[in-house]
Amino acid sequence: MMRSVCSLEHVVTADARFAADISHELRTPLTTMLNSMELIHNHRDELPAAVREPVELLGEDLERFRRLVVDLLEISRDDGEDEGSRDTVRIADLIRVAADTAAGRPVTEVSADAAALTLRADKRRLERVVANLVENAEGHGGGCVRVSVEAGGLGVIVQFDDAGPGVPVADRDRIFERFCRGGSGGRPAQDAGAGGIGLGLSIVARHVAWHNGTIRVEDRPGGGARFVLELPAKPG
């Protein structure tokens, strides 16, 4: 039994190192390509009409590639020896910055009772949770409508609303599993139809559990999906 456990630990560690090695090797050429694409995008009006659409498609593929590399790095840290660290953070401030940055526009609303709530958190993990949920809404949910922060539940409740068709009931648990891609009608499960491999929401689930929180998806009133994050925050 002990030998089996040791063997399993070795496999997990090896997989984490492999993911880390691959993602680190990809970062340099990816950065070069992204910088080049940004330069081309800034001069897109000067491009011949026939090449503008292919350039836009290439830019979208590079963005998916970037997200994959980021997710692989997170997987390697989570499966490896990175135990993380906890610092006291003002949760509303962290969520506002991370969500608005991921969306590229202001999307966060903070209620007065949540403004001063604090949490002992790993900032990197929590920022990744927020970014992945917003990027999921932007890429697969018709756009992020709103991120709301209010006191309640375990301490603080954060709701991520999108404008998509919602998530089928049959997919609402497995959507947080690693490599989950296919949907069963309505909105596809995570990363489906967008070239992803199903890592983003599984990373969310693991990082939320690390913070002793919960994450679930439900229908948004008026249509769309609502991802509900609860964390054990307390008054600052």
Question: How far is residue 197's CA from residue 65's CA, in Å, rounded to a whole number?
Answer: 11
pLDDT grade for 111, boundaries at 50, 70 and 90: very high
Please report the pLDDT score of residue 38 as a whole number.
Answer: 84
Please report the pLDDT score of residue 6 as a whole number.
Answer: 43
> Do 41 and 71 share a domain, yes or no?
yes
Please report the pLDDT score of residue 115 as a whole number.
Answer: 95
pLDDT grade for 177, boundaries at 50, 70 and 90: confident
> Do 149 and 107 share a domain, yes or no?
yes
Question: How far is residue 120's CA from residue 233's CA, in Å, rounded to a whole number?
Answer: 8
Question: How far is residue 64's CA from residue 34's CA, in Å, rounded to a whole number?
Answer: 11
Each residue's pLDDT tens digit, 218-231: 999 999 999 999 99
Of 54, 79, 104, the last residue of a domain is 79
pLDDT grade for 39, boundaries at 50, 70 and 90: confident
43-58: average pLDDT:
84
**Res. 8: pLDDT tops 50:** no
Question: How far is residue 143's CA from residue 28's CA, in Å, rounded to a whole number?
Answer: 30
Question: How far is residue 13's CA from residue 196's CA, in Å, rounded to a whole number?
Answer: 24
Each residue's pLDDT tens digit, 73-88: 766 666 545 566 789 9
> Do 42 and 92 share a domain, yes or no?
no
Q: In the predicted model, what is the mean pLDDT of the chain?
A: 80
> Do 64 and 124 share a domain, yes or no?
no
Q: Are 207 and 128 in contact (CB under 8 A)?
A: yes
> Do 187 and 73 share a domain, yes or no?
no
104-116: average pLDDT:
96
Question: Which CATH number do you get for residue 113?
Answer: 3.30.565.10
Please report the pLDDT score of residue 180 as a whole number.
Answer: 63
Domain count, the chain: 2
> Do 38 and 104 share a domain, yes or no?
no
Which residue bears the tokens 């489906």?
192
Q: Give kind and range of the element (H or E) at residue 182.
A: none
DSSP string, 39-96: HHHHTGGGS-HHHHHHHHHHHHHHHHHHHHHHHHHHHHHHHTT-----EEEEHHHHHH
186-204: average pLDDT:
59
> Do 135 and 183 share a domain, yes or no?
yes
Of 79, 107, 135, the last residue of a domain is 79
> Do 63 and 115 share a domain, yes or no?
no
Which residue bears the tokens 């940055």?
101
Q: Are 171 and 183 in contact (CB under 8 A)?
A: yes
**Res. 11: pLDDT tops 50:** no
Please report the pLDDT score of residue 198 as a whole number.
Answer: 64
Please report the pLDDT score of residue 42 as a whole number.
Answer: 85
Domain span at residue 69 reads 2-79
pLDDT grade for 20, boundaries at 50, 70 and 90: low
**CA nearest 126: which of 167, 156, 81?**
156
> Do 131 and 30 share a domain, yes or no?
no
> Do 126 and 224 share a domain, yes or no?
yes
